[in-house]
Amino acid sequence: MTETKNVSKRSKKEADVLRDKVIAALLLLIPMVVFAVTPIYNSSSSGLSLFGLTFFYWFPIVWLVISAIMYFVAAMILNKMEGDQ
């Protein structure tokens, strides 16, 4: 009975580690995809402006801030996983 509990605890921990790795990978990949697909923000027809900046300029600036936050969260997840081992 205790062996079964140990196996279930171990598999739960492995599932948690896998989930954390997937979340960290997604947090790292999403900004790369957004910046790689320039047609998302490279349209001159969009009339969106923010504080006098055209969409082409402010969209990547906003994503720099968002991606920095996402990288920070991914680093915290990976550091937590490193500390758990």
- State the pLDDT at residue 4: 56
What's the CA gap between 34 and 76, in Å, rounded? 22
- pLDDT bin (cut points 50, 70, 90) of residue 54 is confident
Beta bridge partners of 51: none
Instruction: Check pLDDT > 80 for residue 70.
Output: yes
Instruction: Check pLDDT > 70 for residue 9.
Output: no
- pLDDT bin (cut points 50, 70, 90) of residue 42 is confident
Domain total in the chain = 1
What's the CA gap between 72 and 53, in Å, rounded? 27
Segments forming the whole domain that contains residue 74: 2-84
- Which pTM was predicted? 0.71
Instruction: Check pLDDT > 60 for residue 2.
Output: no
